Amino acid sequence: MLSDTSDMCSPEWGDIYLAAKESWLVSEAGLQLYLSEGKREYIRKDCERLYLLAVNTERNGSFLTAFDDKVSIFYFGEWLKCYFFRDGKNILDALEFSFSEHARIVSECEAFDEQLRADSEKVGKGYYTIACASLRQSVAAHKLVETEDGKLLFLSKENNSNGCIGTADVSYPSIPLYLLYNPELAQGMLRGIYDFAKMPVWNFDFAPHDLGTYPWCSGQVYGTAQRDDKYCCGMYATWASPAPIRCSISAPPRAKFTKRTCRCPSKSAATCSSCRRLPLRRGQKSLLPRRISLSLQVG
């Protein structure tokens, strides 16, 4: 699970599902027989490919496709499943919910589409088309999970630029949508940055640019060679938008970068040349928070 953090790649873990009122395993020969004569017979020749076939013979029907990633995110020591799977639900529950609630979901989507159209037309001609495209792109770029203590995380994945997770590059342009329609998701974007900034491995006086490489929130690829703080401008604007933020900061003195024990078992250096993530200090067993307290209040 979560075996690849490369950019511009699809997950190589999990299962894909195809569901309809009728579905079965079919060979190439069996598929041709069904299409030509409507017969369901299992016929397989040597080395013939097998397919999953889902059929709905009604005039107006539907079929479902689903991807079960089993585990969605590694979050600083926690293995988190997607938000729907909380309370013990699984992919079959998701398929059943989607199928049984299809009419209601479509109705709610149509109502939201009309609201989006009305809001967009107030901005200008043609803005609705842009909003539709950006909405789909923004929602698809995020994964919604819940931490063990019940806090939402809405974590982004960028493309063509390392595949960073929870990155300012995606949060900053995406956040207007969620400020308008679901502020809790906007706060879910920021919680990861707060958590990472409070950890003793973050020894900088500016905000983290990201939390790692998707789907691993385990420290950045830059290691101690941090990027400059220009990204803080976007992060500050993002932080100030969803809610008033009260900060009480009492941080220990800045730690010097001395030799550390990397989290990679076979490495021992200031940074690991293989993963290049920030390591733990020698003898440190966990990423304990610094003495920084943040409280969010929805305004």
pLDDT of residue 37: 74
Q: pLDDT for 154-190, tens place per residue?
A: 999 988 888 899 988 888 888 888 888 888 998 899 8
Domain-wise residue ranges, the chain: 70-100+141-296
Q: What is the pLDDT along the chain (299 residues), one digit of tens a residue?
A: 666 676 777 777 888 888 877 777 777 777 777 777 777 766 666 667 777 777 776 777 778 899 999 999 999 999 999 999 998 999 999 999 998 999 999 999 999 999 999 999 998 888 999 999 999 889 989 999 999 999 999 999 988 888 899 988 888 888 888 888 888 998 899 899 889 989 988 888 788 889 999 999 988 887 766 665 666 655 655 665 555 444 333 333 443 433 444 445 544 444 444 444 444 444 444 443 333 333 434 33
In the block, which residue shows the tokens 């989507």?
109
pLDDT of residue 78: 94
For 49-70, letters b (16+ CB in 10 Å) and e give: eeeebbeeeeeeeeebeeebbb
pLDDT of residue 289: 38
Closest to 211 (Cα-Cα) out of 268, 145, 261: 145
pLDDT of residue 59: 72
Q: pLDDT for 139-153, tens place per residue?
A: 989 999 999 999 999
Residue 120: CA count within 13 A, CB half-sphere: 18
The whole-angstrom separation of Cα 209 and Cα 178 is 20
Dihedral sign for Cα 273, 274, 278, 281, please.
Answer: negative
pLDDT of residue 240: 58
pLDDT of residue 241: 56
pLDDT of residue 207: 81
pTM above 0.75, yes or no: no
Residues 6+ apart with CB under 8 A from 233: none
pLDDT of residue 103: 92
Contact 161, 7 (CB under 8 A): yes
Cβ neighbours, 10 Å, residue 139: 14
pLDDT of residue 22: 75
pLDDT of residue 192: 92
